[in-house]
Amino acid sequence: MKCTKCGGKAVISVLQHHLGLCKEHYLEWVPGQVARAIQKYRMFAKTDRILAAVSGGKDSLSLWDILHRLGYQVDGLYICLGIDGGVNYSNESQRLSQQFAAQHGLTLHVVDIPQVYGESIPQIASRTFRGRGAPCSVCGLAKRHEMNRLARDLGYDVLVTGHNLDDEAAVLFSNTLRWAGGFLARQGPVLEADQPGLARKAKPLCRMYERDMTAYALLRGIEYIYDECPYALGATSIYYKELLNKLESDQPGAKLNFYLSFLQAKEGGLFAPQADPDRAQMHPCPSCGQSTTAEGLCSFCRMMGGES
C-alpha cells in the first residue's frame, strides 16, 4: 500500500478515512485531526493555559505531545493513586509521565493521594460502601475531585483528558442502554465550567480511534505503560468496547458514526440541558467549594470524612 499523500510506502491504513500513510505523514495527520476537533468544538485557544491529566498511558501522553507540538501552553497533572498490581502500576506510570515531561522540558504537577490524604485508593475503597467490589467508583470520584481542585487552584483555563473515541463510544453505549438523560445531556467534547469550583473540561481525542492513538505513540517513540490498571480487568466498559469493536470490524466507521450522530442529535436539541435535573440543584460543597448535587458535603469530602 502507498501513502495517499506522498506515494511512499504506507506504514498504516486509516480504514475509516480510506487513507494509507507513511510514518512522516501519519505523524502530521494525527495532530491535524486533533487540531480540527479543537476548533470545531471551540475547546481552547493558544492564549489559554491548559492542564493535561496524564496517567502514563498512550492516550494521555500522546495528547500532551500533540498539544505541545501544536504550540499550546500545556502542563501535565499526574495523580498518584497508590495502586500496586504486578508491576507496581502507580510507580511505573508516574515514572513514565515524569520521564516524558523531562524529555520535552514540560512542567508536570504530581498529586500523591496517599501522601495528601493518608490513604491509597484501594485503602479508601476497602473502608467505604462505595468501594465494595472494585475501587473504580472511589477512584473516579477522587480523580475528578483532584483534577478540579488543581485546575482551579493553579489557575488553568481548561483541563484536558485523553479520552479517545473508543472510550466515548463505550460511555455513550452504556448511557444509551439506560437512556440516562442527565449523563447524555452532559456527555460531549467540552464540559463548561458552569458551576462554582468546577473546571472547564475538554477531550481533544474524542474523534480518534484507540488503535490510531496506539500507532501514534509507537511511531513517535513515546514510552508509555502497557499494563492496564489491575482493577480494569472485567470492567463493564471493556465489555462494551469489545462489542463495539465487533460492530466496527463488520462495518468500518460505525463507532465514529455512532458518536458523531449523537453529537449532531444533541446539537439539534435532543438531550437538552433540561434533561439534567440534577444539575439544577447543584450547590457549592461547604468544605471544598466544588459544586455538588449531594446534600451538605460533596461525595468526596464525605468519603474522606469516613462516612459511607
144 binds Zn ion (CB under 5 A): no
d(CA 129, CA 308): 5
Name the grid cell of 72.
Answer: 499550546
Nearer to ligand Q46, 25 or 241 (CB): 241
Binder of Zn ion out of 110, 235, 256, 288 (CB under 5 A): 288
Q: Measured from the CB of residue 135, what is the shortest distance to ligand Q46 in angstroms?
A: 5
**Measured at the alpha carbon of residue 111, what is the angle toward residues 286 and 49, in degrees to the nearest 5?**
85
Q: How many residues bind ligand Q46 (CB under 6 A)?
A: 7
* Residue 198 found at the interface with Zn ion (CB under 5 A): no
Please state the φ and ψ torsions of residue 212, each to the nearest 5 degrees: -70, -35
Q: Work out whether strand 158-160 and strand 283-284 pair parallel, antiparallel, or are unpaired.
A: unpaired
Residue 201: beta bridge partners?
A: 159, 191
CB 92 to ligand Q46: min, Å: 13
- Told to check if 232 binds ligand Q46 by CB under 6 A, we report yes
Cβ 115 to ligand Q46 shortest distance, Å: 18
DSSP 185-222: HH-SSEE---STT---EE-TTTTS-HHHHHHHHHHHT-
Binding at 136: pick from Zn ion, ligand Q46, none (beta carbon under 5-8 Å per type): ligand Q46
From CA 202, how far away is CA 167, in angstroms rounded? Answer: 14
Q: With CB under 6 A as the contact rule, which of the stretches 178-186, 203-211, 224-232, 266-274 interacts with ligand Q46?
A: 224-232
The distance of closest approach from Cβ of residue 140 to ligand Q46 in the complex, given in angstroms and rounded to an integer, is 5
**Which of Zn ion, ligand Q46, none lies near 5, with the C-beta cut-off 5 to 8 A by kind?**
Zn ion
Binding site for ligand Q46 (CB under 6 A): 135-136, 139-140, 229, 231-232
